Structure 1
């Protein structure tokens, strides 16, 4: 299956970002991609303060309806970040929607820093798995991947790919360059980590979006600056091969760590 990583600064408004998503979905589908991943808070921008609450939408709101139409028109699945309004609460969320209209919502469990903790409620549920073309895809958002327990739980549950929309800013490039490949290697999974670029308020995003194989090696790696649409094919046979070489799961002493 081919996966597309869409590194971007966004286009300045929800409607413009949906236009951008349609354009990149068409390009990715033309190259055979079956999943297009956009960054954390893609629809609205990440560092926008209280405007987050003003722009938050329900998971079945107008933006989600339009995204479902984009997925259907271009025959691929989408995963993108947005602020989700649910009841009286707002979550930092990511929505997966495929060409058949099937949806999966994930609410970020680990909120980074005082700004996120002020704007959002922590997601209350375990990260989900979705199946696409026979592959199981686990969903996380940004800071979540920095907790080894989150990735290990998805890997133990059968994930082949961990998809991570993110908004990684300076000076934390080590996460994209070192920690994400480590997560892939120690769990024998693919990790697709898709970041923002440019500046937004007082934040400078570091780009470096990447698709890491289960051997910890980058199949794709974007630059620190500039929009990019990167596409690569992943082979689930690589997971079985790597786990034979590095039998972490077989050798894990669950009796010591439960």
Structure 2
């Protein structure tokens, strides 16, 4: 499945403007033959917007979700995007996946919040593995800091995730996460990982870009720089199957020895 990665911070604080950016990117991705477009963490609202997070948060089936679904259906490709989700009085840092016909397939709430800003504005989710079927692939969702916990990604591997989508807001000076850790996660768990970052300065935060689609061989199929970009690369199910057959990590596990981890 051809996968497009939208490395962009959009317009912080301007949901309508960000929906337009997403629509334009979806059009370009569809022309390239992509069946899936992935946008960064909190893309619909922006990240560094302080208490506006709560004001702009919407339900998973709110107006902005409907607008994304309409965009997906009009361009004929699935879309995964980050947004602040309101559920009653609770706000989550969430990511949602919609299909190419606009059906909402999966909604994930970030389980590991990073730093004081996120802990002040969000409640952590409690469900680690969220998946959906898309074009014959088992697609999983995760957000930024979550991927830095090996137990999280291994749980997806054990559950059969083929392609892990990671909308991200990854900061300087932690470039090594994008450059080194993400390809290793893909290799040790025998999956594709689409790591899609914000870019540039937002308030006190400097986002480093470096988005990538890493394969099960630990090699990035495409890698962004530090500017706004739309990248496209392929997720190859046949290569994934061959890689899993050749790599014994998952079959050689001894779960009975790992009880002390929990």
Whether TM-score is above 0.5 comes out as yes
Q: What residue is the counterpart of 2:19 in the other structure?
A: 18
Separation in 2 of the partners of 1:47 and 1:230? 24
TM-score (norm 2): 0.96
Q: Which runs of 5+ in 1 are unaligned?
A: none
> Residue 119 of structure 2 aligns to a residue in which SS?
helix
Q: What residue is the counterpart of 1:87 in the other structure?
A: 88
Mapping of residues 154-233 of structure 1, within 5 Å: 154-223=156-225, 225-233=226-234
Q: Deviations over 1:94-128 (max 9, x none)?
A: 11111223211110000001111111001022321
Q: What residue is the counterpart of 2:140 in the other structure?
A: 138
Moved over 3 A (4+): none
Q: What residue is the counterpart of 1:244 in the other structure?
A: 245
Q: What residue is the counterpart of 2:3 in the other structure?
A: 3
181-190 or 232-241, which deviates more? 232-241
Mapping of residues 50-65 of structure 1, within 5 Å: 50-65=51-66
Separation in 2 of the partners of 1:97 and 1:31? 19
Cα root mean square deviation, aligned: 0.9
Q: Deviations over 1:121-172 (max 9, x none)?
A: 0102232111110001110000000011111111111111110000001011
> Residue 161 of structure 2 aligns to a residue in which SS?
coil
Q: How much does 1:48 deviate?
A: 1.3
Mapping of residues 10-159 of structure 1, within 5 Å: 10-12=10-12, 13-103=14-104, 104-159=106-161
Separation in 2 of the partners of 1:212 and 1:164? 11
Q: Does the 8 Å contact 2:2/2:234 carry over to 1?
A: yes
Q: How much does 1:240 deviate?
A: 2.1
> Residue 145 of structure 1 aligns to a residue in which SS?
helix
Q: Deviations over 1:184-208 (max 9, x none)?
A: 0101100000000010001111000
Separation in 2 of the partners of 1:45 and 1:101? 23
> Residue 79 of structure 1 aligns to a residue in which SS?
strand
Separation in 2 of the partners of 1:100 and 1:248? 36
Q: Does the 8 Å contact 2:78/2:102 carry over to 1?
A: no
118-127 or 23-32, which deviates more? 118-127
Q: How much does 1:244 deviate?
A: 2.7
Q: Deviations over 1:235-257 (max 9, x none)?
A: 11222222233201111111211
